[in-house]
Amino acid sequence: MSTQDARERLELLQGTLDLLILRTLIFGSQHGQGIARAIQQTSDEELLVEHGALYPALQRLEERGWISAKWGISANNRKARFYSLTPVGRKQLLKETSKWNRLTAAIGRILESEEG
Amino acid sequence: MFRRKRKASDFGAEIEAHIQLETERLQEQGLSYEDARTAARRSFGNVTNTQEHFYESNHLLWWDNFWQDIRYAARMLRKSPGFAAIAILTIALGIGATTAIFSVVDATLLHPLPYPHPEQLVTIQDDLPGVGARDVGISVPEWHDFQRSGIFQYVSALGGGDTNLTGASEPARIRLLTIPPNYFALLDVKPQLGRSFDPEDQTPGFNLEVLISDGLWKRAFGSDPHILGKSVRLDNDLYRVVGVMPPGFHDPGATVEESNTDVWAAAGFAGPPAPPPQRNLRILPEAIARIAPGLTIAAAQSRLNALVASLQKEYPTDYPLQSGWRVRLVPLAETVVGNVRQSLILLLGAVGLVLLIGCVNVANLLLARASARGREMAVRQALGAARARLIRQLLTESVLLSLLGGIVGLAILFCAKGFLLQIMPDSLPRLNEVSINWSVLLFALAASLVAGMIFGLAPALHAGRVDLIPMLKQEARGSTGSGEQARTRRVLMVTEFALSLVLMIAAGLLLRSFWDLLNVRPGFNPQSVMAMHMWLPVPNDPDTDIYGSPAQEAPFVREILRRAGTLSGVEEVAIGDIAAIPLGHGRNDLNPFALVLEGRENQSDDSPLVNATIVTPSYFHLVGMTLQRGRLLSDSDKENAPAVAVINEAFARTYWPNDDAVGKHLKLNNARGTTPNRSWTTVVGVIADARTESLAEPSVPQIYVSVYQQRSKDLAIFLRGRLDRSATPAELREQVQLINPELPVFGAQMLTDVVTASLSERRFSLEMVGLFALTALLLAGLGIYGVISYLVSERTHEIGIRLALGARSGNILRMVLRQGLGLAIAGAAVGLICALVVSHLMAGLLYGVRPTDPLTFAGVALLLIGVALLACYIPARRAIRVDPLVALRHE
């Protein structure tokens, strides 16, 4: 059921996945599957996140030192690797968020002016 | 970036955990386990892809591949040790020899001179093109002018000469270098102990201070730490030691340890024992200078030209226009290396060719192996190996081979280093600086890598171009190289022949030059002649010199002649100066005299310099020089009799081209010692030209004067007879020291050895190039043997059929030989053309043989073709012995 209307969902823009992951982790540490679910739910199932694509992104963020990871136990008693935001990651999130806002605002203005 | 990476298994576990969690979530929504798991997997996407992505982002893939290639290559080499050994040895020989020659080139040609800012160092050479004289030395006033000109920081000179060191256990002869006090300041070298001379010292004569070499300090003074301030006696004069030079110090141009300077004495060259300074008395044979900072050599030269022009205007009598006085600046490094450059470049070229031939050989071996490995390559390609990947793997193999070869080569070089340095001629400049240093090692590494690339490229490219289907269809054992591959091997073979031929022709030409030189009639007879050196002291105060004039020296000379004549086996005795030893004297041993001819005094104020040889009358007969006209010197030409001289034909031709020289008058003004304006000397005889300067130079003007009329300080005693090499020198020394126990008598040489030694550089080039040429011939022979063997084994089946159908074995033999002959002739043709170019480049190294000598060219080409035929004959014999039954079953 999470896949049946996949075609109607929005594909993620390049580079936005990192931002979404960082944003998701602001509420506390979470494992990969949790992050995927969170993104999907928070976007009202509008965004399509291929779970497999999540992991290279997580790997990348970890290497940059924006998130850290350690193995822990999930709510339903499963071993899982939990990711949490580092101070650097938190700063990066602020920067990326404001950049994103400026970008969308600018694009929005252009699109509106054309319609108008 | 270099932090510890996550393991792939950890990443796998995380993915598994993800799928597990997702499955459980979906199960909670009511799906069965199977459906839930499938859905979870689907939503995850491609697991393997993700994992690969992880792996690649985490690893340097090329490094992985590289390691894999190396391991694989090492395994392949271990599997065929015979092939590996041959290839590695071939390359080892090539790299070892090339590196050895390079280390010499590096030290002599590439390394800057071992003084600070060597690019500022130049030699100053005076030329008098108007009278055909080059590098005649400079005079003291000129030296002072140059010094004051502002063009140079310092101008200095090298005086040279030997001296007797007395006070030690036995009178010893040591090398003394007389230099102005600014010499060490110019070279910018400090002593290890004490101080050097004060560069501003203006003492006209010797300042009675000396610096000694590290060698002499250790040898004669036992490294005495309190040496400073002690006195040493050099030729009866006491000098104070003020410093000891560091161990590695060498005068510019000094070669081997033996000929290094032991003592440096500072002199102003303006007071006794030097004559009063005069513009046209060029008493300084070698002048060196450090140009002022910021000036290029070219800029210094143009300012110097202006100075020369103004001096010529100022002193028109000293610098007559017709002599065309000119002063040249030559980079010191160039002067030091001299004419060895051409020989060394030839050697480097030759050894490079050997390496290249070795590479071609290994390439051939690799190609043969490549065809055997064709199936392996095809299978790997069929399984998805990229072509680039295969090429890279084969190149890795060949580079590994060549690196191993390089290492073995360097190891051989390290072991043979001592021996190699020994066979180098002593006259090679900067020999003491030859070492295996970083740049040499780097060169060896680079040469190995390039060699590996060269011989690996052809087989590697072929492997990439394999046509898969037929290759895979073929039976493993019958797999043959493609036609293209066979063509490549033939091209390689032709290249190898051509390269070998070039080397062999170079060696052949050198051999013929050498042979001609050995068989040249030198104009004197060196058989059973021994020469020994002797040096009479030169005190700084001429009044205390007991051998100061010919009259004082004559009784001593006569006494030596008398005593030496009594030695056992001695038949003839003569005495001369060092310049009288044919082929056995250096440039500094000559006695330059300014020549003035009667009737032509006015046009030759700036007289040509000639080298006069001082001898006793018995000299000519002893060394076998023949009289042409007039008479020889005689015992009656004494100190108070009219001065006479004997000249050679070259001298007569040069100065009296249209006249009989006998009876002519000339004046010899000693350019280095006594005051000029002696009385006229009469030419009494003309002797035949002898090659006393160099075997390659048939006629150099020579003039001989009697020792009873012209004294000399460095003497040679000549003996002819049935001499005992070991006993005679000691007996002679004893006799001389019975007359004066302070005199050292040393350096006994047989004249035949002197003649041989004069060819040592040529011999060295010849031996080296000859050795390389032989190696090349051997490699070429092995190469064609391999190729023809391979062709024969490839065609065993065909030959079997031919034999079965009744072909005669002679036909088969001819067929195989024709193939080899074709290759050899093609190679020889290409090689002859290349050799024409090379032989013209080395024309300067040849003697008596033209660079296009048809005999050498034809002979060498025939030799090469002969060797090729021989190398083909062995596999050809195998071909005709093929048993048709076996051959037909071969497939």
Note whether B189 and B249 are within 8 A (CB).
Answer: yes
Joined tokens for residue B434? 């030859």
pLDDT digits (tens, 9 = 90+) for B567-584: 888 999 999 988 888 887
DSSP letter at B107 equals I
Query: What gap in Å lies between CA B378 and CA B859, rounded to an integer?
Result: 47
Q: Is A68 on the interface with B (CB under 8 A)?
A: no
Q: Is A5 on the interface with B (CB under 8 A)?
A: no
Nearest to B370 by CA among B488, B469, B451: B488
Domain ranges of chain B: 8-59, 129-324, 340-518+760-889, 538-741
Which chain A residue has its CA at the smallest distance from B20's CA? A78
Long-range contacts of B664-667 (CB under 8 A, 24+ apart): B664/B597, B664/B598, B665/B597, B665/B598, B666/B595, B666/B596, B666/B597, B666/B598, B667/B595, B667/B596, B667/B597, B667/B598
Classify burial at A101, counting beta carbons within 10 Å of its beta carbon; exposed 0-12, middle 13-18, buried 19 or more: exposed
Which chain B residue has its CA at the smallest distance from A53's CA? B50
Note whether B70 and B400 are within 8 A (CB).
Answer: yes
Beta-carbon separation of B50 and A32 below 8 A: no
Mean pLDDT of chain A: 81
Supply angle C-alpha B370, B373, B378, rounded to 5.
Answer: 110
Give strand pairing partners of B239: B232
Query: What gap in Å lies between CA B580 and CA B575, rounded to an integer?
Result: 9
pLDDT range class, residue A4, cuts 50, 70, 90 = very low
pLDDT digits (tens, 9 = 90+) for A47-66: 777 787 888 888 888 888 89
Note whether B284 and B157 are within 8 A (CB).
Answer: yes
pLDDT range class, residue A1, cuts 50, 70, 90 = very low
Complex-level ipTM: 0.81
Strands B206-212 and B193-194 turn out to be: unpaired
Nearest to B339 by CA among B429, B431, B434: B429
The segments of chain B whose pLDDT lies below 50 read 1-4, 169, 254-258, 475-480, 604, 672-674
Joined tokens for residue B305? 């030209």
Sign of the CA dihedral B600, B602, B608, B610?
positive
Note whether B122 and B331 are within 8 A (CB).
Answer: yes
Beta-carbon separation of A2 and B49 below 8 A: no
Beta-carbon separation of A51 and B43 below 8 A: yes
**Out of B14, B26, B50, closest to residue A81 by CB:** B14
DSSP letter at B195 equals -
Q: What is the pLDDT of residue B59?
A: 62
Note whether B869 and B828 are within 8 A (CB).
Answer: no
pLDDT range class, residue A6, cuts 50, 70, 90 = very low
Query: What gap in Å lies between CA B717 and CA B702, rounded to an integer?
Result: 20
Q: Is A51 on the interface with B (CB under 8 A)?
A: yes
Note whether B561 and B573 are within 8 A (CB).
Answer: yes
Joined tokens for residue A106? 């600018």
Query: What gap in Å lies between CA B781 and CA B789, rounded to an integer?
Result: 12
Per DSSP, the three-state class of B372 is: helix
- Say which residues have a Cβ less than 8 Å from residue B206's Cβ, sequence separation at least 6: B178, B237, B239, B265, B266, B267, B540
Q: Which residues of B touch A80 (CB under 8 A)?
A: 14, 17-18, 21
CA distances from B148 to B222, B292, B318 (A): 42, 12, 19
Nearest to B512 by CA among B864, B853, B858, B863: B853
Joined tokens for residue B699? 């006629």
Note whether B816 and B878 are within 8 A (CB).
Answer: no
CA distances from B46 to A1, A81, B456, B604 (A): 19, 20, 40, 101
The CA distance from A35 to the nearest CA of chain B, in Å, is: 10
Beta-carbon separation of B24 and A78 below 8 A: yes
Which chain A residue has its CA at the smallest distance from B1's CA? A63
Supply angle C-alpha B266, B270, B272, rounded to 5.
Answer: 80
Looking from the CA of B815 toward its CB, the CA atoms found within 13 Å total 17
Joined tokens for residue B889? 């079953």
Q: Quick count: other Cβ atoms within 10 Å of Cβ A16? A: 12
Domain ranges of chain A: 6-115
DSSP letter at B874 equals H
Query: What gap in Å lies between CA B377 and CA B372, rounded to an integer?
Result: 10
Long-range contacts of B811-819 (CB under 8 A, 24+ apart): B812/B876, B812/B879, B812/B880, B813/B876, B813/B877, B813/B879, B813/B880, B816/B788, B816/B791, B816/B792, B816/B872, B816/B875, B816/B876, B816/B879, B817/B869, B817/B872, B817/B873, B817/B876, B819/B788, B819/B791, B819/B872
Q: What is the pLDDT of residue B575?
A: 92
Sign of the CA dihedral B220, B224, B225, B228?
negative
The CA distance from A88 to the nearest CA of chain B, in Å, is: 17
- Say which residues have a Cβ less than 8 Å from residue A4's Cβ, sequence separation at least 6: none
Q: Is B42 on the interface with A (CB under 8 A)?
A: yes
Q: Quick count: other Cβ atoms within 10 Å of Cβ B375? A: 18
pLDDT digits (tens, 9 = 90+) for B102-157: 988 888 787 778 788 888 888 888 877 766 666 777 888 888 888 888 888 888 88
Sign of the CA dihedral B436, B437, B441, B443?
negative
Q: What is the pLDDT of residue B425?
A: 72
Q: Is B12 on the interface with A (CB under 8 A)?
A: no
Q: Is A73 on the interface with B (CB under 8 A)?
A: no
Is it true that domain A6-115 has CATH number 3.40.50.1820? no
Q: Integer distance in angstroms from the first to the last C-alpha of chain B?
A: 59
Beta-carbon separation of B57 and A59 below 8 A: yes
Q: What is the pLDDT of residue A10?
A: 65
Q: Hunting for tokens 């070869």 — which residue is that?
A: B405
pLDDT digits (tens, 9 = 90+) for A13-31: 667 888 888 888 988 888 8
pLDDT digits (tens, 9 = 90+) for B668-717: 876 544 455 567 889 999 999 998 888 888 888 889 999 888 877 778 89
Q: For chain A, give me the number of helices (H) and strands (E)?
A: 4, 5
Q: What is the pLDDT of residue B164?
A: 62
Which chain A residue has its CA at the smallest distance from B6's CA? A59
